[in-house]
């Protein structure tokens, strides 16, 4: 018979992980030995291992190497073992700095003087000198005296650096992520996570990793670049010859050299958030170092890193900077005293890069003028400089040149103004500097033509900055869930709008609405009718955008951006949208008569509109401090609690502005090529419950979008790397969304193949979902269908494409399936959180139909409240469904009380099993329901057939130990009549006396106490067995002792 236990968490994931980690070179420490090494369950360090490692450290004095004194070693342990009162983040950061930099210790020297030397906690340069260990079931005491138990902990020199939660296949690995996040909370075991550098959640088929403090949505997968290295190690480490995804990830992240490299070089603290690199950042930095040190046969130190927007290029720059500085510290390094210049072509990007470096404690200096750039370059003390590219023009005019080979020029978005003469200026000012260009938009290969159809020279990024170093495409980022895909929707409104077109558009956007909703829209729109015809188009945009935002964006907690053709249009739309109400817009544009971006018609009328806006809306609060105004607006927009929910711009903030909460970009501006791709990337950042970014096009950029996507080619590098098909798969149209809707609709119905769609018996539909795997598939497909129905009712274009009649079919069947989901999740006690769809889809369905207000998140059946239970059961159809709902919930409640009242647990479980057995034999669902309702009533009122010996009736603890003894007997010997004699009561009282006499502070952590308790219990039970002539085996006694210990740990 197949062994079903192979699919349990322990053998399938946890045991396998231990074997793989052991074969990587770690020593497995059994749980009991690990507890001894820690001393108590409050402690998390293996202090013996740490002391042994520190005792090997030496310092140089004169011509000899000397060992650190015992006092210094004790102090070094004390420093790393004390918890910061400032909280987990501060404490974790302190530990990280100690791990990477060591601690300065003052030593008494032979010449009578005292001098400080650094002692290291980890030998990063020589990994083989460290002690690598792994243990499991790492039980740690919480502040309330209870315990949390991470599945696997990895220690280096006795310091727990990695925590792993394991799940069996079929269990979502995100459960492990959530468990880790819970465990580092202040009510759990933050004192373990203060040391943790790598946090993992694994099952055999998927692994996610982060670090201490990483939000759940930012836990990511690792994909190894060096496939040959990975395969070789996986073959060495596999316990059974098979290679699973779990094995690959463990090898990639926990190989001793890789783990130390990740900790030392690829963790940063950025604005109170600890971050660990994604795999592409790691390999990009590694490849950059190979290029800089000329180890990759490119015959140049320069090159291009092509990582798509949203993939964290600035963090890559920071990590590369750290790596170069560390490389320069090696005695034989060709790099000496490196300095860095970060270059971009946008003020907001320059500020962003500066701020990112400040947040990581790297103290950058910003060149505000060309002269300022020269002064900063002349001062060797300025390690990191940020500058706009145009500052080099001023420097060249002053004939400044710095020919140091230890200058590193990092160019952000190296594809725009860095081309042409400004690129020449950079090369003349810093001719021998290493130049690495970072870009997230296409590397143009095709030669463009001018307006006379003549070929003009291509602005080739590679020609300017060197061969490709690393690539990370749009689709790569989406697959890794680093960014979300983009959906395009065309709502083009022509420049000249007639009354007929206005009426047609109004009819178009009100199709399918309820009568009340239609009338509300028509009244609202009537305000525009009397306005001048010249404003008709802007009125239509404002009206359309407002309705879309109110019904689609705002209910989900998202925000949006609008890009306009001119600054005056941005101001006009600001007032129109604000007057409509329900949305709080803000405008960020260049003030006064200055031009912004491409040329615009700055007529006296448009300049007056702009000037009046600043005078009325900005100056009263900010005077002429426009930077402060922009910072205030963008801060409120980025903050989920901030007032601003619609940001209106012309060119500002279309590049480099990072606002994950932005889910929709409304476009009423002609964009093309890089600018277009940069703009749409404003809505591709990952955010909670954001499945895609939406681009709503009012001006007709679709052809330009296709042209921009065609730029993703690169014949010169020999890759032909970004063909149109690959890139366009990351940006979908409404036609493609229609196909997705149809597909998921068919997949959802396929679960119920063979059932007549007119079937009226709820039980027939519920029975199809009896098996958990089928229910799980149903829940997942219904979630996907809900998302598509949500988009259908928010997209006028998709709604028109699908048609009103078919949309009604989708809506009604969604409501049917949602009710089915509600009933089966209640019946089978599943916890199904549908809340992510609640606000959005309820708002849309209530706008378009008279949909009833159904509760989305189903709470567990409440068997302790008769009225509430009956109300919940009323939602279920058949008696069988109701009975099963009571049964599954009753078992769950009993399990939670198993070691508090073992006798009650056994008694009710026997009744439940008997009722199930009878039902399966007789199929009498009415009797089954009656039995379950009676059982719930008995549990609720405390009635049961539970009996105890008379001499312990008033002693709750003795009753628990009596139950433990009875439970052990049943486990070992099967069905036995429960003995309620006073002699068994006396035995329970003796057991209690032993536990009370041995338990003391921290007894749960004390292996010696455990041993003494078990010895005393063994003697007691053996004597009882002989006195009463019982036929108990030694195994039976051991089982009884185990049950007693479980009760004791719960109660003492």
Angstrom CA distances, 56 to 67, 71, 79, 124, stand at: 7, 14, 18, 15
Number of H helices, E strands in the chain: 43, 28
Q: CA 414, CA 655: separation in Å to the nearest integer?
A: 13
Q: CA 184, CA 187: separation in Å to the nearest integer?
A: 8
The pLDDT of residue 457 is 36
Residue owning tokens 């706008």: 847
Q: Which residue has the higher pLDDT, 708 or 552?
A: 552
Q: Is the pLDDT of residue 873 over 70?
A: no
If pLDDT is split at 50, 70 and 90, which confidence band does 468 have? confident
Contacts of 609 (CB under 8 A, 6+ apart): 568, 571, 572
Tens digits of residue pLDDT in 414-446: 544 444 566 778 888 889 999 998 887 654 444
The pLDDT of residue 704 is 55
DSSP code, position 537: H
Quick one: average pLDDT of 680-690? 85
Query: Is the domain 486-711 a CATH 3.40.30.10 member?
Result: no
Tens digits of residue pLDDT in 773-808: 888 889 888 888 988 887 887 777 787 788 877 888
Tens digits of residue pLDDT in 249-300: 999 999 999 999 999 999 988 878 899 999 999 999 999 999 999 999 889 9
Residue owning tokens 């615009």: 600
**Helix, strand, coil in percent for the chain, rounding step 5:** 50, 15, 35
The pLDDT of residue 454 is 40
The dihedral sign for the CA sequence 598, 604, 609, 610: positive
Residue 156 burial (CB count, 10 A): 27
Name the average pLDDT for the chain: 79
The pLDDT of residue 798 is 81
The CATH fold assigned to 277-473 is: Rossmann fold (3.40.50)
Q: Which residue has the higher pLDDT, 331 or 169?
A: 331
pTM over 0.85: no
The pLDDT of residue 846 is 47
The pLDDT of residue 38 is 94
Radius of gyration of the chain (CA): 34
738: nearest Cα among 687, 829, 804, 801: 801
Residue owning tokens 């009568």: 515
Contacts of 826 (CB under 8 A, 6+ apart): 858, 861, 872, 875, 876, 885
Quick one: average pLDDT of 954-962? 79
Q: In the structure encoding, which two tokens stand for residue 873, read together?
A: 């059961």
Alpha helical stretches, state H, 138-226: 174-183, 190-193
Which secondary structure element, helix H or strand E, spans residue 986, and what is its range?
helix 982-998
Q: Which residue has the higher pLDDT, 1039 or 227?
A: 227
Tens digits of residue pLDDT in 830-860: 655 555 444 445 554 444 443 232 222 334 5
590: nearest Cα among 407, 385, 310, 348: 348
Q: CA 38, CA 558: separation in Å to the nearest integer?
A: 47
The pLDDT of residue 764 is 80
The pLDDT of residue 2 is 39
Give the percent of the chain with pLDDT over 70: 72
Q: In the structure encoding, which two tokens stand for residue 551, read together?
A: 């019904």
Q: Which residue has the higher pLDDT, 983 or 190?
A: 190
Q: Which residue has the higher pLDDT, 163 or 595?
A: 163
DSSP code, position 419: S
Tens digits of residue pLDDT in 903-938: 666 666 666 666 666 656 666 667 767 777 776 776
Q: Which residue has the higher pLDDT, 524 or 447?
A: 524
The pLDDT of residue 760 is 67
Q: Which residue has the higher pLDDT, 415 or 1?
A: 415
The pLDDT of residue 267 is 94
Strand 273-276 to strand 303-307: parallel, antiparallel, or no bridges (unpaired)?
unpaired
59: nearest Cα among 2, 107, 129: 107
Kindly provide the b/e burial profile for residues 775-808, where b requires at least 16 CB atoms within 10 angstroms of the residue's own CB: bebbbebbbbbbbbbbbbbbbbbbbebbeeebbe
The pLDDT of residue 789 is 84
Contacts of 229 (CB under 8 A, 6+ apart): none
Q: Which residue has the higher pLDDT, 687 or 842?
A: 687
The pLDDT of residue 46 is 97
Three-state DSSP string of 253-277: HHCHHHHHHHHHHCEEEECCEEEEC
């Amino acid at each position: 018979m197949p062994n079903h236990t192979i699919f349990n968490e322990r053998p399938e994931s946890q045991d396998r992980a231990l074997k793989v980690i052991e074969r990587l070179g770690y020593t497995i420490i059994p749980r009991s030995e690990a507890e001894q090494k820690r001393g108590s369950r409050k402690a998390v360090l293996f202090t013996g291992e740490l002391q042994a490692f520190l005792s090997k450290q030496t310092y140089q004095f004169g011509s000899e190497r000397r060992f650190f004194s015992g006092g210094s070693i004790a102090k070094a342990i004390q420093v790393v073992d004390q918890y910061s009162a400032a909280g987990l983040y501060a404490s974790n950061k302190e530990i990280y700095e100690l791990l990477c930099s060591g601690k300065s210790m003052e030593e008494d020297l032979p010449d009578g003087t005292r001098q400080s030397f650094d002692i290291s906690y980890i030998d990063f340069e020589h990994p083989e000198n460290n002690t690598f260990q792994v243990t499991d079931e790492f039980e740690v005491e919480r502040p309330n005296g209870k315990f949390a138990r991470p599945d696997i902990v990895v220690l280096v020199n006795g310091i727990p650096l990695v925590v792993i939660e394991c799940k069996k296949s079929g269990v979502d690995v995100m459960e492990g992520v959530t468990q880790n996040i819970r465990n580092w909370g202040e009510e759990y075991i933050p004192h373990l996570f203060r040391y943790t550098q790598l946090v993992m959640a694994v099952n055999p088929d998927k692994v996610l990793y982060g670090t201490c403090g990483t939000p759940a949505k930012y836990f990511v997968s690792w994909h190894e670049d060096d496939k040959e290295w990975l395969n070789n190690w996986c073959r060495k480490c596999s316990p059974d010859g098979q290679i699973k995804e779990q094995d690959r990830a463990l090898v990639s992240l926990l190989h001793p050299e890789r783990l130390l490299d990740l900790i030392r070089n690829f963790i940063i603290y950025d604005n109170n958030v600890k971050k660990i690199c994604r795999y592409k950042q790691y390999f990009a930095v590694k490849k950059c170092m190979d290029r800089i040190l000329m180890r990759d046969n490119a015959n140049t130190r320069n090159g291009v890193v092509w990582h798509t927007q949203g993939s964290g290029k600035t963090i890559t720059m920071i990590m590369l900077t750290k790596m170069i500085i560390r490389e320069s510290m090696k005695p034989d390094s060709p790099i000496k005293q490196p300095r860095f210049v970060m270059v971009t072509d946008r003020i907001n990007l320059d500020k962003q890069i500066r701020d990112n470096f400040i947040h990581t404690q790297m103290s950058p200096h910003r060149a505000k003028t060309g002269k300022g750039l020269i002064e900063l370059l002349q001062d060797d003390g300025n390690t990191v400089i940020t500058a706009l590219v145009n500052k080099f023009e001023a420097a060249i005019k002053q004939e400044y040149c710095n020919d140091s080979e230890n200058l590193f020029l990092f160019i952000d978005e190296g594809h725009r103004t860095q081309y042409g003469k400004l690129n020449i200026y950079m090369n003349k000012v810093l001719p021998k500097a290493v130049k690495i260009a970072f870009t997230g938009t296409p590397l143009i290969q095709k030669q463009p033509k001018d307006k006379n159809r003549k070929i003009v020279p291509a602005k080739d990024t590679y020609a300017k900055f060197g061969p490709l170093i690393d690539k990370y495409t749009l689709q790569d980022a989406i697959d890794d869930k680093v960014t979300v895909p983009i959906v395009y929707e065309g709502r083009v409104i022509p420049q000249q709008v007639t009354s007929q077109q206005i009426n047609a558009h109004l009819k178009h956007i009100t199709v399918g609405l309820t009568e009340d909703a239609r009338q509300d829209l028509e009244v609202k729109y009537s305000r525009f009718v009397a306005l001048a015809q010249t404003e008709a188009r802007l009125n239509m945009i404002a009206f359309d955008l407002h309705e879309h935002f109110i019904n689609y964006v705002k209910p989900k907690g998202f925000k949006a951006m609008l890009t306009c053709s001119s600054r005056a249009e941005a101001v006009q739309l600001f007032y129109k949208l604000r007057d409509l109400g329900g949305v709080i817009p803000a405008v960020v544009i260049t003030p006064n008569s200055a031009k912004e971006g491409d040329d615009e018609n700055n007529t006296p009328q448009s300049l007056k509109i702009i000037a009046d806006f600043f005078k009325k809306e900005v100056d009263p609060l900010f005077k002429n401090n426009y930077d402060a105004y922009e910072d205030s607006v963008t801060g409120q927009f980025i903050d989920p609690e901030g007032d601003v929910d619609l940001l209106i711009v012309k060119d500002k903030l279309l590049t480099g502005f990072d606002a994950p909460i932005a889910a929709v970009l409304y476009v009423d501006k002609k964009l093309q090529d890089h600018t277009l791709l940069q703009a749409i990337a404003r809505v591709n950042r990952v955010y909670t419950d954001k499945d895609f970014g939406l681009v709503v096009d009012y001006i007709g950029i679709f052809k330009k979008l296709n042209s921009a996507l065609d730029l993703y080619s690169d014949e010169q590098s020999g890759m032909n790397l970004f063909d149109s098909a690959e890139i366009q798969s990351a940006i979908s149209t409404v036609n493609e969304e229609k196909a997705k809707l149809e597909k998921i609709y068919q997949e959802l119905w396929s679960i119920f193949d063979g059932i007549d769609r007119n079937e009226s018996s709820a039980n027939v539909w519920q029975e199809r979902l009896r098996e958990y795997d089928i229910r799980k598939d149903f829940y997942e497909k219904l979630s996907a269908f809900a998302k598509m129905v949500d988009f259908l009712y928010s997209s006028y274009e998709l709604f028109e494409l699908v048609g009103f009649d078919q949309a009604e079919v989708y809506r009604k069947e969604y409501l049917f399936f949602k009710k089915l989901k509600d009933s089966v999740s209640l019946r089978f006690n599943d916890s199904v959180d549908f809340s992510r769809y609640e606000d959005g889809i309820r708002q849309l369905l209530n706008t378009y139909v008279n949909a009833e207000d159904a509760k989305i998140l189903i709470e567990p059946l409440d068997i302790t409240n008769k009225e509430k239970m009956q109300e919940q059961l009323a939602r279920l159809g058949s008696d069988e469904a109701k009975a099963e709902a009571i049964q599954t919930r009753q078992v769950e409640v009993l399990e939670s009380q198993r070691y508090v009242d073992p006798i009650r647990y056994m008694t009710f479980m026997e009744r439940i099993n008997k009722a199930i057995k009878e039902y399966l034999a007789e199929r009498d669902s009415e009797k089954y329901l009656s039995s379950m309702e009676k059982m719930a009533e008995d549990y609720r009122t405390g009635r049961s057939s539970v009996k105890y010996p008379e001499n312990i009736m008033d002693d709750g603890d003795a009753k628990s130990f009596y139950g433990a003894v009875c439970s052990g007997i049943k486990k070992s010997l099967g069905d036995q009549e429960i003995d309620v004699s006073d002699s068994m009561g006396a035995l329970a009282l003796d057991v209690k006396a032993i536990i009370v006499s041995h338990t003391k502070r921290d007894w749960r952590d004390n292996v010696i106490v455990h041993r003494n308790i078990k010895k005393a219990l063994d003697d007691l039970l053996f004597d009882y067995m002989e006195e009463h002539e019982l036929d108990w085996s030694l195994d039976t006694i051991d089982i009884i002792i185990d049950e007693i210990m479980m009760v004791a740990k719960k109660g003492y």
